[in-house]
Copies of this chain bind each other. A is one copy, B any other.
Amino acid sequence: MIISPPTGTKDFGIQDCRIRRKIFDKLITVAEAFAFQPLETPAIERIETMQGKYGEEGEKLFFKILKRGEQANSGECDLALRYDLTVPAMRYYTSNRGKLPKIFKRFQYGPVWRAERPGKDRYRQFYQFDFDIYGSTLLSADIECLNVTISCLKAIGLNNFFIRLNSRKLLYALMNEFNVPENLFQTIITLIDKVDKIGVGELSENLMPYKDIGKIKELSNNFLKQNYNDLFINLLRLKKENVESIDELVELIKVSNTFLREDQIKIDMTLARGIDYYSGCIFEVEIPGIKGSIAAGGRYNHLSKLFIDEEVPVCGASLGIERIIPLIDGDSLEIINHVDVYISCTNNDFASIVKLANDLRSIGFRVESQRGSSGKFRKELSYANQINSIYFIFQGDNERQSNQFFLKDMKDNKIEGKFSYDEVIEMLKNLRK
Protein backbone atom coordinates (compact mmCIF):
# COMPACT_ATOMS: atom_id res chain seq x y z
CA MET A 1 0.00 0.00 0.00
CA ILE A 2 1.22 3.51 -0.86
CA ILE A 3 1.59 5.41 2.40
CA SER A 4 2.61 8.79 1.02
CA PRO A 5 0.05 11.60 0.81
CA PRO A 6 -1.68 12.06 -2.57
CA THR A 7 0.47 13.40 -5.43
CA GLY A 8 0.79 17.17 -5.19
CA THR A 9 0.00 17.31 -1.47
CA LYS A 10 2.21 17.31 1.61
CA ASP A 11 2.14 16.23 5.23
CA PHE A 12 3.33 19.00 7.55
CA GLY A 13 5.39 17.58 10.39
CA ILE A 14 6.13 19.13 13.77
CA GLN A 15 8.47 21.93 12.69
CA ASP A 16 6.47 22.77 9.55
CA CYS A 17 3.30 23.09 11.62
CA ARG A 18 4.96 25.27 14.25
CA ILE A 19 6.36 27.68 11.65
CA ARG A 20 3.05 27.84 9.80
CA ARG A 21 1.05 28.46 12.94
CA LYS A 22 3.38 31.29 13.98
CA ILE A 23 3.10 32.84 10.54
CA PHE A 24 -0.69 32.67 10.49
CA ASP A 25 -0.77 34.21 13.97
CA LYS A 26 1.30 37.13 12.72
CA LEU A 27 -0.81 37.56 9.57
CA ILE A 28 -4.03 37.49 11.59
CA THR A 29 -2.61 40.13 13.94
CA VAL A 30 -1.89 42.37 10.95
CA ALA A 31 -5.35 41.83 9.44
CA GLU A 32 -6.94 42.67 12.80
CA ALA A 33 -4.75 45.78 13.18
CA PHE A 34 -6.42 46.97 9.96
CA ALA A 35 -9.86 46.11 11.40
CA PHE A 36 -10.44 43.18 9.05
CA GLN A 37 -12.71 40.50 10.49
CA PRO A 38 -12.55 36.74 10.11
CA LEU A 39 -14.66 34.62 7.76
CA GLU A 40 -14.55 30.91 7.05
CA THR A 41 -16.37 29.17 4.25
CA PRO A 42 -16.47 25.40 3.63
CA ALA A 43 -13.77 23.64 1.62
CA ILE A 44 -16.45 22.35 -0.73
CA GLU A 45 -18.73 24.46 -2.89
CA ARG A 46 -21.61 23.69 -5.23
CA ILE A 47 -20.05 23.19 -8.64
CA GLU A 48 -22.23 25.95 -10.12
CA THR A 49 -20.88 28.45 -7.57
CA MET A 50 -17.46 28.09 -9.14
CA GLN A 51 -18.37 27.63 -12.78
CA GLY A 52 -18.00 30.62 -15.06
CA LYS A 53 -15.84 32.55 -12.59
CA TYR A 54 -12.27 31.64 -13.46
CA GLY A 55 -12.08 31.49 -17.25
CA GLU A 56 -11.27 28.44 -19.33
CA GLU A 57 -8.00 27.60 -17.58
CA GLY A 58 -9.45 27.65 -14.09
CA GLU A 59 -12.45 25.57 -15.06
CA LYS A 60 -10.22 22.63 -16.00
CA LEU A 61 -8.49 22.69 -12.62
CA PHE A 62 -11.38 21.96 -10.22
CA PHE A 63 -11.34 18.78 -8.17
CA LYS A 64 -14.89 17.50 -8.66
CA ILE A 65 -16.81 15.43 -6.13
CA LEU A 66 -18.99 12.55 -7.26
CA LYS A 67 -22.68 12.49 -6.37
CA ARG A 68 -23.56 10.09 -3.56
CA GLY A 69 -25.81 7.06 -3.23
CA GLU A 70 -27.56 5.79 -6.32
CA GLN A 71 -26.54 8.88 -8.27
CA ALA A 72 -22.86 7.94 -7.92
CA ASN A 73 -23.18 5.52 -10.84
CA SER A 74 -24.04 8.38 -13.19
CA GLY A 75 -20.45 9.61 -12.84
CA GLU A 76 -21.86 13.12 -12.33
CA CYS A 77 -20.49 15.67 -9.88
CA ASP A 78 -22.38 18.29 -7.92
CA LEU A 79 -19.65 19.64 -5.61
CA ALA A 80 -16.05 20.75 -6.04
CA LEU A 81 -13.12 21.71 -3.83
CA ARG A 82 -12.74 25.48 -3.73
CA TYR A 83 -10.28 26.92 -6.23
CA ASP A 84 -9.60 30.09 -4.24
CA LEU A 85 -11.04 32.04 -1.30
CA THR A 86 -12.25 35.02 -3.34
CA VAL A 87 -15.27 33.46 -5.04
CA PRO A 88 -16.56 31.68 -1.89
CA ALA A 89 -16.22 34.95 0.04
CA MET A 90 -18.26 36.74 -2.63
CA ARG A 91 -20.88 33.99 -2.42
CA TYR A 92 -20.99 34.59 1.35
CA TYR A 93 -21.18 38.35 0.91
CA THR A 94 -23.99 38.26 -1.63
CA SER A 95 -26.09 35.96 0.53
CA ASN A 96 -25.48 37.86 3.80
CA ARG A 97 -25.01 41.52 2.86
CA GLY A 98 -28.30 42.52 4.50
CA LYS A 99 -26.68 41.69 7.85
CA LEU A 100 -23.21 43.04 7.08
CA PRO A 101 -21.85 46.58 7.55
CA LYS A 102 -21.77 48.82 4.51
CA ILE A 103 -18.01 48.51 4.39
CA PHE A 104 -17.26 44.85 5.05
CA LYS A 105 -13.61 43.99 5.53
CA ARG A 106 -12.93 40.29 5.87
CA PHE A 107 -9.89 38.08 6.06
CA GLN A 108 -9.79 34.35 5.52
CA TYR A 109 -7.12 31.70 5.31
CA GLY A 110 -7.09 28.06 4.46
CA PRO A 111 -6.26 25.52 1.81
CA VAL A 112 -7.44 25.73 -1.79
CA TRP A 113 -7.16 22.99 -4.39
CA ARG A 114 -6.11 22.94 -8.02
CA ALA A 115 -5.78 19.85 -10.18
CA GLU A 116 -2.64 21.18 -11.83
CA ARG A 117 0.29 19.02 -12.77
CA PRO A 118 2.27 19.07 -9.52
CA GLY A 119 5.90 20.13 -9.53
CA LYS A 120 8.58 21.69 -7.39
CA ASP A 121 6.73 24.27 -5.23
CA ARG A 122 3.54 23.64 -7.20
CA TYR A 123 1.07 21.86 -4.99
CA ARG A 124 -2.47 20.69 -5.55
CA GLN A 125 -3.45 21.66 -2.03
CA PHE A 126 -1.96 24.95 -0.88
CA TYR A 127 -2.79 27.67 1.61
CA GLN A 128 -3.78 31.22 0.86
CA PHE A 129 -4.20 34.15 3.23
CA ASP A 130 -6.79 36.45 1.81
CA PHE A 131 -8.46 39.75 2.63
CA ASP A 132 -11.02 41.95 0.89
CA ILE A 133 -12.81 45.25 1.31
CA TYR A 134 -16.43 45.09 0.13
CA GLY A 135 -18.59 48.12 -0.52
CA SER A 136 -16.02 50.86 -1.18
CA THR A 137 -15.45 52.46 -4.56
CA LEU A 138 -12.73 54.67 -3.13
CA LEU A 139 -9.07 54.38 -4.02
CA SER A 140 -8.33 54.35 -0.27
CA ALA A 141 -9.57 50.73 -0.32
CA ASP A 142 -7.19 49.76 -3.12
CA ILE A 143 -4.37 51.46 -1.25
CA GLU A 144 -5.25 49.63 1.95
CA CYS A 145 -5.14 46.26 0.21
CA LEU A 146 -1.58 46.99 -0.86
CA ASN A 147 -0.80 48.36 2.62
CA VAL A 148 -2.06 45.19 4.33
CA THR A 149 -0.13 42.99 1.90
CA ILE A 150 3.10 44.86 2.61
CA SER A 151 2.45 44.89 6.36
CA CYS A 152 1.87 41.13 6.32
CA LEU A 153 5.14 40.49 4.52
CA LYS A 154 7.06 42.80 6.84
CA ALA A 155 5.47 41.19 9.91
CA ILE A 156 6.92 37.81 8.98
CA GLY A 157 10.34 39.26 8.25
CA LEU A 158 10.24 39.68 4.47
CA ASN A 159 11.52 43.04 3.26
CA ASN A 160 13.23 42.56 -0.09
CA PHE A 161 10.10 42.48 -2.22
CA PHE A 162 8.95 44.73 -5.02
CA ILE A 163 5.50 45.53 -6.38
CA ARG A 164 4.39 45.39 -9.99
CA LEU A 165 1.38 47.59 -10.47
CA ASN A 166 -1.09 47.96 -13.31
CA SER A 167 -4.75 48.61 -14.04
CA ARG A 168 -7.16 46.40 -15.91
CA LYS A 169 -9.10 49.51 -16.89
CA LEU A 170 -5.95 50.81 -18.52
CA LEU A 171 -5.24 47.53 -20.30
CA TYR A 172 -8.76 47.51 -21.70
CA ALA A 173 -8.43 51.18 -22.72
CA LEU A 174 -5.17 50.38 -24.41
CA MET A 175 -6.71 47.55 -26.37
CA ASN A 176 -9.60 49.82 -27.34
CA GLU A 177 -7.10 52.36 -28.55
CA PHE A 178 -5.65 49.74 -30.87
CA ASN A 179 -9.09 48.67 -32.09
CA VAL A 180 -8.88 45.17 -30.63
CA PRO A 181 -12.40 43.70 -30.63
CA GLU A 182 -13.80 43.20 -27.14
CA ASN A 183 -14.31 39.46 -27.50
CA LEU A 184 -10.55 39.04 -27.72
CA PHE A 185 -9.72 41.10 -24.62
CA GLN A 186 -9.58 38.11 -22.26
CA THR A 187 -7.49 36.06 -24.70
CA ILE A 188 -4.96 38.85 -24.89
CA ILE A 189 -5.03 39.41 -21.12
CA THR A 190 -4.22 35.72 -20.68
CA LEU A 191 -1.34 36.00 -23.15
CA ILE A 192 0.03 39.17 -21.56
CA ASP A 193 -0.19 37.43 -18.19
CA LYS A 194 2.07 34.71 -19.52
CA VAL A 195 4.73 37.00 -21.00
CA ASP A 196 7.10 36.25 -18.09
CA LYS A 197 7.01 32.58 -18.91
CA ILE A 198 6.77 32.58 -22.70
CA GLY A 199 8.81 35.73 -23.44
CA VAL A 200 7.92 38.59 -25.73
CA GLY A 201 9.01 36.62 -28.80
CA GLU A 202 6.70 33.72 -28.23
CA LEU A 203 3.94 36.07 -27.21
CA SER A 204 4.17 37.83 -30.59
CA GLU A 205 4.05 34.45 -32.26
CA ASN A 206 0.98 33.56 -30.23
CA LEU A 207 -0.58 36.81 -31.30
CA MET A 208 0.00 36.04 -34.99
CA PRO A 209 -3.42 34.47 -35.57
CA TYR A 210 -4.90 37.84 -34.62
CA LYS A 211 -2.45 39.93 -36.63
CA ASP A 212 -5.01 41.04 -39.19
CA ILE A 213 -7.40 42.17 -36.46
CA GLY A 214 -7.16 45.87 -35.82
CA LYS A 215 -3.73 47.09 -34.87
CA ILE A 216 -2.87 44.00 -32.86
CA LYS A 217 0.58 43.67 -34.36
CA GLU A 218 1.26 47.30 -33.66
CA LEU A 219 0.02 46.67 -30.11
CA SER A 220 2.43 43.82 -29.68
CA ASN A 221 5.34 45.83 -31.07
CA ASN A 222 4.67 49.13 -29.39
CA PHE A 223 3.22 47.88 -26.18
CA LEU A 224 5.37 44.97 -25.21
CA LYS A 225 8.80 45.95 -26.42
CA GLN A 226 8.85 49.47 -25.10
CA ASN A 227 10.45 50.76 -21.99
CA TYR A 228 7.55 50.84 -19.56
CA ASN A 229 8.08 54.39 -18.33
CA ASP A 230 8.14 55.76 -21.86
CA LEU A 231 5.03 53.79 -22.56
CA PHE A 232 3.38 55.19 -19.49
CA ILE A 233 4.11 58.73 -20.61
CA ASN A 234 2.82 57.91 -24.07
CA LEU A 235 -0.35 56.61 -22.50
CA LEU A 236 -1.06 59.98 -21.01
CA ARG A 237 -1.64 61.11 -24.57
CA LEU A 238 -4.45 58.64 -24.98
CA LYS A 239 -8.11 59.46 -24.65
CA LYS A 240 -9.53 61.53 -21.84
CA GLU A 241 -11.36 58.60 -20.17
CA ASN A 242 -8.05 56.95 -19.41
CA VAL A 243 -6.77 59.83 -17.36
CA GLU A 244 -8.70 58.62 -14.33
CA SER A 245 -7.02 55.20 -14.34
CA ILE A 246 -3.65 56.85 -14.70
CA ASP A 247 -4.37 59.31 -11.89
CA GLU A 248 -5.34 56.35 -9.70
CA LEU A 249 -2.05 54.59 -10.31
CA VAL A 250 -0.09 57.77 -9.67
CA GLU A 251 -1.98 58.44 -6.40
CA LEU A 252 -1.61 54.83 -5.33
CA ILE A 253 2.15 55.02 -5.82
CA LYS A 254 2.33 58.36 -4.02
CA VAL A 255 0.51 57.14 -0.90
CA SER A 256 2.28 53.78 -0.93
CA ASN A 257 5.53 55.66 -0.58
CA THR A 258 4.59 56.22 3.07
CA PHE A 259 5.10 52.47 3.62
CA LEU A 260 7.36 51.49 0.71
CA ARG A 261 10.65 52.68 -0.71
CA GLU A 262 10.13 54.38 -4.07
CA ASP A 263 12.16 51.71 -5.89
CA GLN A 264 9.91 48.94 -4.51
CA ILE A 265 6.90 49.80 -6.65
CA LYS A 266 6.54 50.43 -10.36
CA ILE A 267 3.93 50.38 -13.04
CA ASP A 268 4.37 47.35 -15.28
CA MET A 269 2.13 47.21 -18.33
CA THR A 270 2.82 43.50 -18.83
CA LEU A 271 1.10 42.70 -15.55
CA ALA A 272 -2.37 41.37 -16.37
CA ARG A 273 -3.37 38.81 -13.63
CA GLY A 274 -4.75 35.68 -15.25
CA ILE A 275 -8.17 35.38 -13.67
CA ASP A 276 -11.12 36.99 -15.45
CA TYR A 277 -12.63 38.81 -12.52
CA TYR A 278 -10.29 41.79 -12.05
CA SER A 279 -11.61 45.17 -13.13
CA GLY A 280 -9.39 47.98 -11.72
CA CYS A 281 -5.96 48.37 -10.11
CA ILE A 282 -4.01 45.11 -10.01
CA PHE A 283 -0.70 44.28 -8.38
CA GLU A 284 1.71 41.44 -7.76
CA VAL A 285 4.50 41.13 -5.20
CA GLU A 286 7.75 39.50 -6.23
CA ILE A 287 11.11 38.74 -4.66
CA PRO A 288 14.20 39.52 -6.76
CA GLY A 289 15.58 36.34 -8.28
CA ILE A 290 12.50 34.26 -7.55
CA LYS A 291 10.07 33.27 -10.27
CA GLY A 292 6.39 34.04 -9.86
CA SER A 293 4.60 36.18 -7.32
CA ILE A 294 4.25 35.59 -3.57
CA ALA A 295 1.17 37.78 -3.21
CA ALA A 296 -1.24 39.52 -5.54
CA GLY A 297 -4.47 41.40 -5.63
CA GLY A 298 -6.65 44.00 -7.20
CA ARG A 299 -10.13 45.39 -7.69
CA TYR A 300 -12.85 43.15 -9.11
CA ASN A 301 -16.13 45.06 -9.17
CA HIS A 302 -17.90 42.78 -11.64
CA LEU A 303 -17.62 39.44 -9.87
CA SER A 304 -20.81 39.99 -7.85
CA LYS A 305 -22.86 40.15 -11.07
CA LEU A 306 -22.22 36.45 -11.55
CA PHE A 307 -24.12 35.88 -8.28
CA ILE A 308 -26.64 38.69 -7.99
CA ASP A 309 -28.08 41.33 -10.30
CA GLU A 310 -25.99 44.11 -8.81
CA GLU A 311 -22.43 45.40 -8.87
CA VAL A 312 -20.54 45.27 -5.57
CA PRO A 313 -17.37 47.36 -5.46
CA VAL A 314 -14.66 45.19 -3.93
CA CYS A 315 -10.91 44.84 -3.88
CA GLY A 316 -8.59 42.47 -2.11
CA ALA A 317 -5.38 40.52 -2.13
CA SER A 318 -4.05 37.09 -1.40
CA LEU A 319 -0.75 35.80 -0.02
CA GLY A 320 0.59 32.49 -1.30
CA ILE A 321 1.69 30.81 1.91
CA GLU A 322 3.46 27.87 0.22
CA ARG A 323 5.66 30.27 -1.73
CA ILE A 324 6.34 32.55 1.23
CA ILE A 325 7.30 29.96 3.86
CA PRO A 326 10.51 28.75 2.18
CA LEU A 327 11.70 32.39 2.09
CA ILE A 328 11.34 32.95 5.82
CA ASP A 329 14.11 32.71 8.37
CA GLY A 330 12.66 30.20 10.85
CA ASP A 331 15.00 31.33 13.64
CA SER A 332 13.48 34.78 13.72
CA LEU A 333 10.09 33.28 14.57
CA GLU A 334 11.13 32.22 18.09
CA ILE A 335 9.44 28.85 17.99
CA ILE A 336 9.24 26.84 21.21
CA ASN A 337 10.69 23.35 20.73
CA HIS A 338 11.30 22.34 24.31
CA VAL A 339 9.43 20.69 27.16
CA ASP A 340 9.70 22.40 30.54
CA VAL A 341 9.61 19.36 32.79
CA TYR A 342 9.90 15.61 32.39
CA ILE A 343 8.52 13.65 35.34
CA SER A 344 9.96 10.19 35.71
CA CYS A 345 7.37 7.49 36.24
CA THR A 346 9.51 4.48 37.04
CA ASN A 347 8.21 4.39 40.58
CA ASN A 348 4.77 3.24 39.43
CA ASP A 349 2.72 5.57 41.60
CA PHE A 350 1.13 6.97 38.51
CA ALA A 351 -1.73 8.78 40.27
CA SER A 352 0.60 11.14 42.15
CA ILE A 353 2.67 11.80 39.03
CA VAL A 354 -0.44 12.64 37.01
CA LYS A 355 -1.51 15.03 39.75
CA LEU A 356 1.86 16.81 39.89
CA ALA A 357 2.02 17.00 36.09
CA ASN A 358 -1.48 18.46 35.86
CA ASP A 359 -0.77 21.00 38.61
CA LEU A 360 2.32 22.18 36.72
CA ARG A 361 0.40 22.31 33.44
CA SER A 362 -2.31 24.41 35.03
CA ILE A 363 0.26 27.13 35.74
CA GLY A 364 1.60 27.08 32.19
CA PHE A 365 4.36 24.45 32.11
CA ARG A 366 4.78 21.94 29.33
CA VAL A 367 5.13 18.62 31.09
CA GLU A 368 5.92 15.15 29.73
CA SER A 369 5.50 12.02 31.81
CA GLN A 370 5.16 9.27 29.23
CA ARG A 371 8.03 6.82 29.24
CA GLY A 372 10.07 6.83 26.08
CA SER A 373 11.77 3.60 27.01
CA SER A 374 11.19 0.42 28.93
CA GLY A 375 11.00 2.43 32.11
CA LYS A 376 14.68 2.26 33.05
CA PHE A 377 15.74 5.42 34.85
CA ARG A 378 18.81 5.98 32.67
CA LYS A 379 16.73 5.59 29.51
CA GLU A 380 14.21 8.07 30.86
CA LEU A 381 16.98 10.61 31.38
CA SER A 382 18.14 10.18 27.81
CA TYR A 383 14.55 10.41 26.56
CA ALA A 384 14.05 13.65 28.53
CA ASN A 385 17.18 14.98 26.82
CA GLN A 386 15.92 13.89 23.42
CA ILE A 387 12.69 15.86 23.84
CA ASN A 388 14.63 18.95 25.06
CA SER A 389 13.28 18.91 28.58
CA ILE A 390 14.72 21.67 30.76
CA TYR A 391 14.00 19.97 34.12
CA PHE A 392 13.71 16.38 35.26
CA ILE A 393 11.74 15.30 38.32
CA PHE A 394 12.09 11.89 39.92
CA GLN A 395 11.46 9.93 43.10
CA GLY A 396 13.22 6.96 44.63
CA ASP A 397 11.35 4.53 46.86
CA ASN A 398 12.20 6.59 49.95
CA GLU A 399 11.02 9.83 48.38
CA ARG A 400 7.80 8.16 47.33
CA GLN A 401 7.11 7.20 50.94
CA SER A 402 7.61 10.80 52.09
CA ASN A 403 6.04 12.30 48.94
CA GLN A 404 9.22 14.19 48.07
CA PHE A 405 10.83 14.83 44.70
CA PHE A 406 14.31 15.33 43.28
CA LEU A 407 14.57 18.19 40.79
CA LYS A 408 17.34 18.06 38.21
CA ASP A 409 18.44 20.85 35.86
CA MET A 410 19.04 19.10 32.52
CA LYS A 411 21.21 21.86 31.05
CA ASP A 412 23.59 22.14 34.01
CA ASN A 413 23.24 18.40 34.64
CA LYS A 414 22.84 19.29 38.32
CA ILE A 415 20.39 18.11 40.98
CA GLU A 416 18.77 21.16 42.59
CA GLY A 417 17.74 19.26 45.70
CA LYS A 418 14.95 17.25 47.30
CA PHE A 419 11.59 19.00 47.73
CA SER A 420 8.08 18.43 49.00
CA TYR A 421 5.15 18.48 46.56
CA ASP A 422 4.42 22.18 47.15
CA GLU A 423 8.10 23.10 47.23
CA VAL A 424 8.89 21.56 43.88
CA ILE A 425 6.07 23.55 42.26
CA GLU A 426 7.23 26.77 43.99
CA MET A 427 10.84 26.05 43.00
CA LEU A 428 9.90 25.65 39.31
CA LYS A 429 7.82 28.82 39.38
CA ASN A 430 10.85 30.75 40.69
CA LEU A 431 13.30 29.16 38.27
CA ARG A 432 11.09 30.19 35.36
CA LYS A 433 11.15 33.87 36.31
Cα of A11 to Cα of B361 in the assembled complex, Å: 35
- From residue A29, how far is it (CB to closest CB) to chain B in Å? 9
Cα of A282 to Cα of B244 in the assembled complex, Å: 68
Contact in complex: A144, B351 (CB < 8 Å) = no
Q: A37 — which chain B residues lie within 8 A by C-beta?
A: 14, 17
Contact in complex: A372, B103 (CB < 8 Å) = yes
- From residue A24, how far is it (CB to closest CB) to chain B in Å? 10
Contact in complex: B17, A44 (CB < 8 Å) = no
Q: A2 — which chain B residues lie within 8 A by C-beta?
A: 46, 48-49
Contact in complex: B64, A66 (CB < 8 Å) = yes
Does chain B have a CB within 8 A of A125? yes
Does chain B have a CB within 8 A of A77? yes
Q: In A276-330, which residues have CB < 8 Å from any B CB? A: 306-308
Q: A365 — which chain B residues lie within 8 A by C-beta?
A: 33
- From residue A387, how far is it (CB to closest CB) to chain B in Å? 7
Contact in complex: B35, A367 (CB < 8 Å) = yes
Q: Would you give the 0/1 interface string for A162-179, flagging 1 where the beta carbon is closer than 8 Å to chain B?
A: 000000000000000000
Cα of A388 to Cα of B10 in the assembled complex, Å: 41
Cα of A387 to Cα of B106 in the assembled complex, Å: 13
Contact in complex: A345, B387 (CB < 8 Å) = no
Can you name the residue of chain B whose Cβ is closest to the Cβ of A136? Answer: B370
Contact in complex: B358, A151 (CB < 8 Å) = yes
Does chain B have a CB within 8 A of A371? yes
Q: A64 — which chain B residues lie within 8 A by C-beta?
A: 65-66, 72
Q: A74 — which chain B residues lie within 8 A by C-beta?
A: 75
Contact in complex: A350, B143 (CB < 8 Å) = yes
Can you name the residue of chain B whose Cβ is closest to the Cβ of A139? Answer: B350
Contact in complex: B75, A370 (CB < 8 Å) = no
Contact in complex: B103, A41 (CB < 8 Å) = no
Contact in complex: A354, B259 (CB < 8 Å) = yes
Cα of A382 to Cα of B7 in the assembled complex, Å: 52
Q: A20 — which chain B residues lie within 8 A by C-beta?
A: 40
Contact A33/B354 with A39-B12, A75-B75, A136-B371 known, Cβ cut-off 8 Å: no
Does chain B have a CB within 8 A of A264? no
Does chain B have a CB within 8 A of A275? no
Contact A11/B39 with A66-B65, A103-B371, A370-B144 known, Cβ cut-off 8 Å: yes
Contact in complex: A101, B387 (CB < 8 Å) = yes
Question: Taking the full assembly, how many copies of this chain does it contain?
Answer: 2
Does chain B have a CB within 8 A of A160? no
Contact A366/B40 with A4-B95, A6-B46 known, Cβ cut-off 8 Å: no
Does chain B have a CB within 8 A of A332? no
Contact in complex: B367, A147 (CB < 8 Å) = no
Contact in complex: B63, A372 (CB < 8 Å) = no
Contact in complex: B258, A354 (CB < 8 Å) = yes
Q: A32 — which chain B residues lie within 8 A by C-beta?
A: 336, 366
- From residue A309, how far is it (CB to closest CB) to chain B in Å? 10
Does chain B have a CB within 8 A of A403? no
> Which of these, B18, B42, B65, B72, contacts A10 with CB under 8 Å?
B42
Contact in complex: B14, A39 (CB < 8 Å) = yes
Q: A65 — which chain B residues lie within 8 A by C-beta?
A: 63-66, 81
Contact A96/B13 with A75-B74, A101-B387, A367-B35 known, Cβ cut-off 8 Å: yes
Contact A358/B6 with A43-B111, A387-B101 known, Cβ cut-off 8 Å: no
- From residue A65, how far is it (CB to closest CB) to chain B in Å? 5
Q: A345 — which chain B residues lie within 8 A by C-beta?
A: 140
Does chain B have a CB within 8 A of A21? yes
Can you name the residue of chain B whose Cβ is closest to the Cβ of A51? Answer: B1
Contact in complex: A366, B35 (CB < 8 Å) = yes
Q: Considering residues A6, A37, A49, A364, which has the most beta carbons from chain B within 10 angstroms of its beta carbon?
A: A6
Q: Can you give 14 contacting A-B residue pairs, CB < 8 Å?
A: A2-B46, A3-B308, A11-B40, A11-B41, A21-B38, A42-B125, A43-B125, A64-B65, A65-B66, A66-B77, A68-B115, A138-B371, A140-B369, A259-B355
